Amino acid sequence: MTKNDLIKQLQEQLKTYSLKDVGYVVNIIFDSMVDAIKRGERIELRGFGSFEVRERKPRMGRNPKSGAQVKLQERKVPFFKTGKELRIMVDHKK
């Protein structure tokens, strides 16, 4: 599912709002989530999962094309952990 698909599906359920208005709301939600992640905050959506920032320590990596070793700096990466309810639904147990 793409963001466009999500907007179209929401608009079908919320027929009183235009596609443009629903798109605007979805973009506000996503932008708010991105801003929170940038600030290092944790986002928790009960039943769905949580987003957080994790720090990766510096290490030696390898260039897959040449095989040469490359030093990778410390960096921050976004991380998503699924919620229990979502894991159960995906596993078709509910």
Same domain? 13 vs 55: no
Per-residue pLDDT tens digits for 16-63: 999 999 999 999 999 999 999 999 999 999 999 999 999 999 999 999
pTM passes above 0.85: no
Same domain? 53 vs 90: yes
pLDDT for 93 beyond 90: no
* Structural domain for 65, as ranges: 48-94
Same domain? 60 vs 22: no
At 84, is the pLDDT very low, low, confident or very high (cuts 50, 70, 90)? very high
Same domain? 57 vs 94: yes
User: In this structure, what token pair is assigned to residue 62?
Assistant: 């390898």
Residue 50 near residue 80 (C-beta atoms within 8 A): yes
Same domain? 52 vs 77: yes
Q: How many independent structural domains does the chain possess?
A: 2
pLDDT for 94 beyond 70: no
Same domain? 61 vs 26: no
Residue 83 near residue 51 (C-beta atoms within 8 A): no
Same domain? 52 vs 92: yes
Same domain? 62 vs 36: no
Same domain? 57 vs 91: yes
At 92, is the pLDDT very low, low, confident or very high (cuts 50, 70, 90)? confident
Give the list of residues 6+ apart from residue 56 with CB closer than 8 angstroms, or none.
72, 74, 75, 76, 77
pLDDT for 77 beyond 90: yes
Nearest Cα to Cα of residue 27 among 1, 6, 51? 6
